[in-house]
Chains A and B, each alone.
Chain A
Amino acid sequence: MTITPDSPPSRFNRFMDSDLMFSFLSSKLTVVSAIITLIFFVAAIFAPLVAPHRPFDPATIDLLDAFTPPVWAEYGDARFLLGTDDQGRDVLSTIIYGCRISLLVGFAAVGLSLLIGVGVGLLSGFYGGWLDTVFMRLADVQLTVPAILTALVIDGIADLFVPPSMRETLSIVVLILAIGLSDWPRYARVARSSTMVERNKEYVMAARVIGVGSFRIILRHILPNILGPILVMATIGLAIAITTEATLSFLGVGVPPTTPSLGTLIRIGNSFLFSGEWWITIFPSLALVLLVLAVNLLSDWLRDALNPKLR
């Protein structure tokens, strides 16, 4: 049997022609937020290439440049578009590098929550019984503890056991763990309820009739079919994780000032707000707001686009 190549259009063509793509292109706000998100991602990934300065390389920093205001202000310097901070670091560059940390923490934390949440949800929903009861009570307990408290606890534990010399390198890992562990129950619940619906569908029964193992049914049949709503949650989760990270860093339990994230930058700049050097804190804040807003708008659109009832 040969299959003529003309019948199925290529994956790319199908995607460009899909309803999803259509609804994406017909919403200007979504396109704008997608472009903004993309700019943030690209800038963060290629930070060393994009950033005009290398703010964390002591050799390139000159303390004499400290507190330079943005270009358009009086005493502005063309080298520093958004001005410099108290140590003479270029604010734009610190923002770009800060985004890198923020996005890294955000993605890793969401990944961790997804892994735990979807895993727990699949097993809970598929097997039911006591396993379900135990997992779901665990999720309930987790949900009663605010994310920030979880983070503070994990940070505290880490402080006890990690030698001070390694704290700086490990602080990012601690942040990821803290945020990831506090957010998994949301994914677990959605994954569980979708799994319970899919489990009783006839295509799953068809697989069970021929004796396909439970594990393969879960991974190959059920998982692909519950990913839609979870993907939507994950995009919202990314925005939440980024804000949580910023909050923790602002409070001082996050990443250290030597490799600052957006939250750390805001905290550092905060002390200069009233002495007139507003740009040190305002620009990182604006970047944070813009990033979170764009990601939120994207996830809003994705939720509506994937919801057949709203179409």
Chain B
Amino acid sequence: MTKHDAAPLIEIKDLERRFDVSKSPLSRFFNRGQKQYLKAVDGVSLEIPKGETLSIVGESGCGKSTMAKLVVGLDFPTAGSISFEEHDLSKPEDFTKFRSRWQMIFQDPYASLNPRWRVRDIIAEPMREFHPGVSRVEVDDVVGDLLTKVGLSPKDAEKFPHEFSGGQRQRISIARALSSEPEFLVCDEPTSALDVSVQAQILNLMKELQERLGLTYLFISHDLAVVHHISTKIGVMYLGRICEVADADDLFRAPRHPYTRMLLETIPKMDTEVVERVPVSGEVPNPINAPSGCTFHPRCPFATDRCKQEAPALRDTGGAKVACHAVEEDRLPPADRTRKPHGKGVQNA
């Protein structure tokens, strides 16, 4: 499946999205406040090879959803660039040319389908947009095909969204995304609103479609288990920055960045005897007043003065890319994946 030699389908360079979250000019004047910005995405560089799945994991507010919106053109970056098949997409007009080549799948199956439309019209919307004048017979044909492809029946085209369960709605959502025959799908937490048994169905369907249609995925999630299952590569995001990118298996076997390690710690274990886990410390700080230097330093057991002052760059480290001074200086203890009591640095909150 992998084609490492080919140029990446999507290439993201130094992407930045800054939001102005200042108070109104009047209140700034009276309170002598400064203009305030929130960097939802702060200098992210990534590439996604054709036919592969890159996942971005992180906690809420880390900027992963903003990333997804930037990539599909629902929002525009304040700096940096995105290119699709080596065509630069910096200007909104450039997006129009390639719009039919990518699609998005959303988190909430109850909000992502227009409740007043019939399933046929929902699925056919992209088709009608890109091929105006397509005949009713053709539409019925393609819609029936797509419904079968996602595991529903062609008869369902006549129904309204409220007649379906959450998992079935997500299938309709996928069918809609496929109707413009895209190559690239951005999936923003597509299974986090679903029950586990349904989640398995949707993940399997997505994998199957990827193999059959040669799709490329950008998969956004907070669930590490799901991410490991579906991805070839994983990027870990914290407060707008990427702190580690690695091959999926590699990331789980040998996590490098302390934040990645902490995230892996938090996954409840089902298959081992209960060990008294060392609880993780702290919470994600307010991104408006992000910490200086490495933004993770207040929660990091290995932080030094350098970490507090200087933001680490993403560096190649043995197959993975990591942004951490401790990794660069090689002063991290080896990753502890055997679940013995952890180093003494992490303390209870």
User: Real complex partners, A and B?
Assistant: yes
Contact of B125 among A1, A3, A212, A225 (CB under 8 A): A212
C-alpha gap A1/B149 in the complex (Å):
14
Contact of A202 among B95, B102, B107 (CB under 8 A): B107
Are A209 and B129 interface neighbours, CB within 8 A?
no
Contact of A209 among B73, B122, B143 (CB under 8 A): B73
Q: How far is the CB of A163 from chain B (nearest CB, A)?
A: 48
C-alpha gap A252/B345 in the complex (Å):
86
Q: How far is the CB of B274 from chain A (nearest CB, A)?
A: 39
Interface centre among A1, A4, A8, A208 (most CB of B within 10 A): A1
Are B112 and A1 interface neighbours, CB within 8 A?
no
Q: How far is the CB of A11 from chain B (nearest CB, A)?
A: 12
Binds A, one of B14-22, B151-159, B235-243: B151-159
Are A207 and B103 interface neighbours, CB within 8 A?
no
Q: Mark B58-70, 1 if CB is under 8 A from A, else 0.
A: 0000000000000
Q: How far is the CB of B322 from chain A (nearest CB, A)?
A: 32
Query: Considering the complex, which residues of chain A in the window 199-216 have a beta carbon less than 8 Å from any beta carbon of chain B?
Result: 201-203, 205-212
Size bracket of the A interface: 10 to 19
Q: Is A258 an interface residue (CB 8 A)?
A: no
Q: How many A-B residue pairs have CB under 8 A?
A: 67
Query: Considering the complex, which residues of chain B in the window 236-254 have a beta carbon less than 8 Å from any beta carbon of chain A?
Result: none
Q: Is B114 an interface residue (CB 8 A)?
A: yes
- B contacts with A: majority SS: helix
Query: Considering the complex, which residues of chain B in the window 113-137 have a beta carbon less than 8 Å from any beta carbon of chain A?
Result: 113-116, 122, 125-126, 129-130
Are A205 and B155 interface neighbours, CB within 8 A?
no
Q: Mark A12-43, 1 if CB is under 8 A from B, else 0.
A: 00000000000000000000000000000000
Contact of A8 among B95, B159, B173 (CB under 8 A): B159
Residues on B with C-beta less than 8 A from A203 are 111-114, 122
Are B96 and A1 interface neighbours, CB within 8 A?
no
Q: Is A224 an interface residue (CB 8 A)?
A: yes
Q: Is A221 an interface residue (CB 8 A)?
A: yes
Residues on A with C-beta less than 8 A from B99 are 209-211
Are A1 and B140 interface neighbours, CB within 8 A?
yes
Q: How far is the CB of A6 from chain B (nearest CB, A)?
A: 10
Are A224 and B116 interface neighbours, CB within 8 A?
yes
Are B112 and A210 interface neighbours, CB within 8 A?
no
Chain A interface (Cβ within 8 Å of chain B)? Answer: 1, 3-4, 7-8, 201-203, 205-212, 221, 224-225
A to B CB contacts below 8 Å, 16 in the list: A1-B145, A7-B158, A8-B159, A202-B107, A202-B112, A203-B114, A209-B104, A210-B100, A210-B125, A210-B126, A210-B130, A211-B95, A211-B99, A225-B114, A225-B115, A225-B116
14 more A-B residue pairs beyond the given contacts A8-B159, A212-B129, with a C-beta to C-beta distance below 8 A? A1-B140, A201-B112, A202-B108, A202-B112, A203-B111, A206-B125, A209-B102, A209-B104, A210-B99, A210-B103, A211-B95, A212-B125, A221-B114, A224-B116
* 8 nearest CB pairs, A to B: A1-B144, A202-B112, A202-B106, A224-B116, A203-B114, A210-B126, A8-B158, A202-B111
Chain B interface (Cβ within 8 Å of chain A)? Answer: 72-74, 95-96, 99-100, 102-104, 106-108, 111-116, 122, 125-126, 129-130, 140-141, 143-145, 154-155, 157-159, 173, 176, 180
